[in-house]
Amino acid sequence: MGSDVGETDHWTPRDPLSADARGWCAAAVERLSRDLPEAALEAAQQAVQRDPYSEWGHRLASLALERLGRDSEAVASAQEAARLAPGSWAARLRLASALRRIPGRWRDAAAEAARAVRYAPEEADPHVLAGDLALQRGDHAGAAAAYRIALARARDHPGAHVNLALTWLRWERARPHHDPAWEVDPRETGRTRRALDVWSRQVRVLLAAAFAVVAVVGLGFGQHREAQIGGAAVLALVLVVSVRQAGRIRAWPYVPAMLGRDLWLALSVTIALAAIAAYIVGLATLPTDLDTWDEAWTGAFGLVLLNFPAVLVLRLFGEAWRGRPVRALTAFAEVIGTSAGKVARRDIAVTLWIITGRIWWALLIAAALPALTGAPYAAIAVLAVPAVMWRSRGALLEGRSVLAGDRWLAVALAALATGGVWLVVVAVAGTVGGGGPKGRFLGEEVWGDGVWGAVARTAWLGALGALVLAAAAFGGRAARAWWRGGPGPWRAALVPYEGLTGDLTPSAGLSEEVRHAATYSRSVVLAYRDSHGPRTLAVSAVTSVSESGELRLIAGDDAWDAVERDPRVALYVGDPRFWAEVRGIAVPDRDILRVTPKAVLVREYPGRHQARAR
């Protein structure tokens, strides 16, 4: 048996401020961990000055530049690191992370992330970054699959836990209308979205005001023909507004795709078009007096005048019932106490508000059932809420610390609990009092006779008051967030976690002995894996070893075909004194294979029991 000489992956200098380039790199890593990007950039630049071929130094400089907001410079440093070590998964990871912040470079970032996954499928960070890029496009299924693979590699990865929870919440970026894979500038699509949104609001407000005036003049004052003529003239103003906003749109080819990606933008545009059609129908069917209303005019009146509150209610309902917040809450709780704890607490607070919104809607439906059916015992449906809450008690208990710091949330939940109790009282008192579905709304025949009927009616009004109080608590919390400029109780306040650590990984260096042996030894064997399993091949020649430690060799066609499928290889180098195993990534380049070391192991031959100094 041989003895271990050393592994370059675990080399750490004692003095990080020494003249050694790796010492400066270690200092840069330490400063980045303390969130000192300017000091880290200085240390990384010192490392690059001492060793221009230090892929690690360029990579750390890129990360420091990114944290300083100098994205274009971060990309340049990351590209230099990838050029020096084309088979380094950490360099590819860094380059992908830098590229994703540049508008129009999403595809390039995805390609680099795919290379990082291919070069190091056993690492978690490349899979997390692939998931982040999918999440950036709104591909929740693809992102969730990548995060699950990452968690299979590292069960305690904070970024995978937090961002997987966001996929369960169906989280979207602040610009859901823009696909980051598009080459168009996101500011251009942003201006297009703003023009469409402004057009929709202006048209709907203009038509609602005009329709109200037409109704008053035509029905209230009996000026039927004049009201129709004046209403028709308003359509000219709608045309002016439309032409004006259309002139501000420069990304017309992307408009259909934008509407397909942004549900609420598509709904807003659709409602505006429907309001125009309803307005025309309302003008054509304007009744001559209050006794001649027909269904067409009534429907047009409701659509034109009531579309704003209807869209608002629909959006609030949709935002509350999207995703699986209880499951997400469990995932957020997994990383409390880690580096992602701050982000997780913020997301937990928003998730609890989403759950509160669901409870509010459920109680509102339970409170509406007695009024709609005329039967107070229908309010017993409220018991479904605590049943579901009990099944999810473990996840909800994880948010107790966040609940203690949000008094508005505590007030809202207390109000909803009180409202639920009132609805149970409605069901019991109404049933005992003999209320039934044949009576009038809020009449004694509905709620029952005597004291029990009065109790049921009073309890129902109390439940409505509790719902109003919970809504007021939400409004107060939202107003406070708006005033202070902080995160509010809505989905837009959710944030992903971007704390990858793979791009901090030290690069594997080669000692002078290994460099010399690899260049001059006649005993060099390449191990790789093809479709039939592991294979070994004697290397014709190692042409050179670059300053960055990359081995360039000539190998047979079989090796080339194999590395196209799986670039992970091992190079065994023999020397009269020792043998070395260089595990790395092989990248074909013209007539040679460029092997970037990933890990280096040196052992002495049997019989030598003392490890040599590095």
Answer whether residue 12 is part of any domain. Answer: no
**379 closest CA partner among 430, 334, 338:** 430
What pLDDT, on the 0 to 100 scale, is given for residue 434? 64
Residue 593 near residue 559, CB atoms below 8 Å: yes
**What CATH number corresponds to the domain at position 73?**
1.25.40.10
What is the separation of C-alpha 150 from the centre of its chain, rounded to a whole number of angstroms?
A: 16
Q: Are residues 192 and 64 located together in one domain of the fold?
A: no
Which domain does 103 fall in, by range? 49-168
pLDDT digits (tens, 9 = 90+) for 301-320: 999 999 999 999 999 899 89
Boundary residue ending a domain (168, 202, 226): 168
Boundary residue ending a domain (467, 493, 519): 493
pLDDT digits (tens, 9 = 90+) for 54-87: 899 999 999 999 999 999 999 999 999 999 999 9
Total domains present in the chain:
4
Q: Are residues 352 and 489 located together in one domain of the fold?
A: yes
Give the DSSP H or E segment for 528.
Answer: strand 524-530
Q: Are residues 311 and 354 located together in one domain of the fold?
A: no
Q: Are residues 69 and 103 located together in one domain of the fold?
A: yes
Residue 487 DSSP label: -
What pLDDT, on the 0 to 100 scale, is given for residue 377? 82
pLDDT digits (tens, 9 = 90+) for 110-129: 999 999 999 999 999 999 99
Boundary residue ending a domain (461, 493, 525): 493
pLDDT digits (tens, 9 = 90+) for 487-515: 889 898 999 998 899 989 998 878 888 88
| Contacts of 377 by beta carbon, 8 Å cutoff, 6+ apart | 427, 430, 431, 435
Answer whether residue 338 is part of any domain. Answer: no
How far is 96 from 102, CA to CA, in rounded Å? 10
Answer whether residue 335 is part of any domain. Answer: no
Answer whether residue 177 is part of any domain. Answer: no
Answer whether residue 114 is part of any domain. Answer: yes
pLDDT digits (tens, 9 = 90+) for 356-374: 999 999 999 999 888 777 7
Secondary structure string (H, E, C) spanning 389-440:
HHHCHHHHHCCHHHHHCCHHHHHHHHHHHHHHHHHHHHHHHHHHCCCCCCCC
Answer whether residue 331 is part of any domain. Answer: no
Q: Which residues pair with 8 in a beta bridge?
A: none
- The mean pLDDT of 230-250, rounded to a whole number, is 94
Give the DSSP H or E segment for 7.
Answer: strand 4-7
Q: Are residues 308 and 403 located together in one domain of the fold?
A: no
Q: Are residues 488 and 353 located together in one domain of the fold?
A: yes
pLDDT(9) > 70: no
What token pair was written down for 437? 């579905």
Q: Are residues 195 and 312 located together in one domain of the fold?
A: yes
**What CATH number corresponds to the domain at position 596?**
2.30.110.10
pLDDT digits (tens, 9 = 90+) for 196-232: 999 999 999 999 999 999 999 988 777 888 889 999 9
pLDDT(450) > 70: yes
Average pLDDT for the chain: 87
What pLDDT, on the 0 to 100 scale, is given for residue 613? 41
Q: Are residues 309 and 191 located together in one domain of the fold?
A: yes
- The mean pLDDT of 466-490, rounded to a whole number, is 93
What pLDDT, on the 0 to 100 scale, is given for residue 611? 47
How far is 477 from 463, CA to CA, in rounded Å? 21
Answer whether residue 587 is part of any domain. Answer: yes
**228 closest CA partner among 174, 176, 284, 144:** 284
What pLDDT, on the 0 to 100 scale, is given for residue 445? 58
Q: Are residues 382 and 282 located together in one domain of the fold?
A: no
What pLDDT, on the 0 to 100 scale, is given for residue 614? 39
What pLDDT, on the 0 to 100 scale, is given for residue 18? 52
Of 132-146, 273-287, 310-324, 592-606, the least confident:
592-606
- The mean pLDDT of 535-555, rounded to a whole number, is 80
Q: Are residues 191 and 149 located together in one domain of the fold?
A: no
Answer whether residue 43 is part of any domain. Answer: no
Q: Are residues 119 and 249 located together in one domain of the fold?
A: no
